[in-house]
Structure 1
Amino acid sequence: MTNAIRYMLTTAALSVAFMTLPASAETNHDDQKHGSEMHQSANAQTAQGQGTVKALDTEKQQITLTHGPIESLGWPGMTMPFKLADSASMKELSVGDEVRFEVKKSGNDITITEISRQ
């Protein structure tokens, strides 16, 4: 008799939990989405890297680099374009130059804030 009562109580508790799950999951999802967006914009990361200039686009204020791994951002070595912040200048750079740079990552926004030839 005790096992039957436990079984019924457990079944009732699980039924209530499953009925409320979709509503709480949806609410948590929305909170996590907004929290994630705020977290990303509030917590910009900066890191240093080294690489080689592959392309310069002065119209778009963009530079393409082949760089080594940037461990603090969890990036493997790769070739990718970067936006340049107003503080970073590509005036003295040429394709093929070896460079050191500082990159700022805030959410999906990735910008080189400093760059210089090695």
Structure 2
Amino acid sequence: MRALLFSALLGACLSVSFLSVQANASVSPTGQQWQGQGVVQKIAPQSVVIQHEAIPALKWPAMTMPFALSADVDLRAIKPGEQVTFTLVRAGDGFQIISLTPLR
């Protein structure tokens, strides 16, 4: 019984990992990009939380939200509390930042 439960849990974990990788791989088939500006609230290895201004092209009001990061984004020059501009593309069911630049 334990072996069956362990196998089911392992299978579920691997499925979720595969879906997550697959979602990141399907980036903006239309090539459409959107620009935003805001303040970095939190930085994680593969994501960033930004309190951004309205993005009219997406019909988004100003809000604070997390974004996945493209592998090409270099976070070494970015700190929480810093104002940034960013470029978004569709990635799976969400959006991904492909460019993140501090405003100095």
Q: TM-score range by the shorter chain?
A: 0.5 to 0.7
Where does the alignment leave 5 or more consecutive residues of structure 1 unmatched?
1-40
Tell me if 1:47 matches 2:34: yes
Residue 107 of structure 1 deviates from its aligned partner by 5.4
Residue 80 of structure 1 deviates from its aligned partner by 0.3
In structure 2, give the amino acid aligned to 1:88: V
TM-score (structure 2 length as normaliser): 0.67
Match of 1:74 among 48, 59, 62: 59
Residue 82 of structure 1 deviates from its aligned partner by 0.4
Q: In structure 2, what is the Cα distance between the partners aligned to 1:71 and 1:64? A: 19
In structure 2, give the amino acid aligned to 1:55: K
SS of the residue corresponding to residue 57 of structure 2 reads: helix
Alignment RMSD: 1.5
Identity over aligned pairs, percent: 32
Where does the alignment leave 5 or more consecutive residues of structure 2 unmatched?
1-27
Q: In structure 2, what is the Cα distance between the partners aligned to 1:43 and 1:77? A: 25
Match of 1:90 among 75, 79, 103: 75
TM-score (structure 1 length as normaliser): 0.59
Report how many residues are paired: 76
Higher relative helix content: 1
Q: Specify the structure having the higher radius of gyration (Cα).
A: 1
Counterparts of 1:1-118 in structure 2, within 5 Å, are 42-58=29-45, 61-106=46-91, 108-118=93-103
Residue 86 of structure 1 deviates from its aligned partner by 1.2
